[in-house]
């Protein structure tokens, strides 16, 4: 019982520590355009993505597919399909859900609305992390958030979000997709709070 309690306290402490490690900065432009805005169109960009120790996502995927197929024929191909499908099925909806809940209805985002500005969530780095029970490494993502005026296509601001953590508070995040999904949840929540300060 004491061991379970210790692990729970340790995980809560560690989760708070990693959240504090996240950094959000306004890199270019101004957020003045947000005044009077209630909606943002949202798009996602995964180009020029680095994953873990791989500079190119393509190399990471090839490595994983080969390793999984070596263990079991076809397993790597299924993994690749899941890796790519998680974006529209898990990551993007989770980002929007947490962004909209945290935004307290003052500003919401979605893929189809009458917004004057669009928010492009460009993921530049993914650390998938791992959890094998006795040891773990948290997932995290780096993103640049680019805001454009839809009518003119002009970029008005860029926000950088570094080391946005993804993990389950109780440590049951054995699935890679779940860990990364939680990173997008944290991104949505943190970004909404940051933007609310500018409203």
Each domain of the chain, given as residue ranges in start order, spans 2-196
Q: Is the pLDDT of residue 9 over 50?
A: no
Amino acid 113: pLDDT: 73
Q: Is the pLDDT of residue 17 over 90?
A: no
Amino acid 136: pLDDT: 61
- Contact between 188 and 161 (Cβ < 8 Å): no
Q: Alpha-carbon distance 163 to 144, whole Å? A: 12
Q: Is the pLDDT of residue 12 over 60?
A: no
Amino acid 11: pLDDT: 39
Mean model confidence pLDDT for the chain: 85
Q: Alpha-carbon distance 199 to 197, whole Å? A: 6
pLDDT band of 152, cuts 50, 70, 90: very high
Q: Which of 23, 33, 87, 63 is nearest to 195 (CA)?
A: 33
- Between 63-67, 98-102, 143-147, 176-180, the lowest mean confidence (pLDDT) is in 176-180
Coil vs helix vs strand at 173: coil
- Contact between 53 and 130 (Cβ < 8 Å): no
pLDDT band of 166, cuts 50, 70, 90: confident
The residue that leads in pLDDT, 54 or 13, is 54
Q: Alpha-carbon distance 15 to 136, whole Å? A: 13
Q: Is the pLDDT of residue 6 over 60?
A: no
Task: Give me the mean pLDDT over the 102-119 stretch.
Answer: 84
> Per-residue pLDDT tens for 49-108?
999 999 999 999 999 999 999 999 999 999 999 999 999 999 999 999 999 999 676 889
């Amino acid at each position: 019982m004491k061991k379970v309690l210790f692990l729970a306290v340790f995980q809560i402490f560690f989760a708070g520590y990693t959240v504090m490690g996240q950094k959000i900065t306004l890199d270019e432009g101004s957020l003045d355009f947000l005044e009077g805005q209630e909606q943002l169109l949202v798009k996602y960009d995964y180009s020029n993505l680095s994953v873990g120790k791989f500079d190119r996502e393509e190399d990471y995927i090839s490595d994983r597919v080969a390793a999984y197929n070596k263990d079991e024929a076809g397993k790597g191909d299924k993994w690749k399909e899941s890796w790519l499908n998680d974006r529209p099925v898990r990551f993007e909806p989770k980002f929007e859900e947490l962004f909209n809940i945290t935004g307290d209805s003052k500003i919401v985002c979605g893929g189809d609305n009458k917004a004057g500005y669009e928010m492009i969530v460009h993921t530049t780095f993914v650390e998938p992390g791992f959890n094998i029970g006795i040891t773990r490494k948290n997932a995290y993502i780096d993103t640049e958030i680019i805001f454009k005026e839809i009518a003119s296509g002009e970029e008005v601001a860029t926000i950088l979000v570094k080391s946005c953590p993804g993990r389950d508070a109780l440590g049951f995040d054995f699935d890679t997709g779940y860990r990364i999904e939680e990173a997008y949840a944290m991104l949505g929540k943190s970004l909404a709070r940051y933007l609310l300060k500018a409203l």
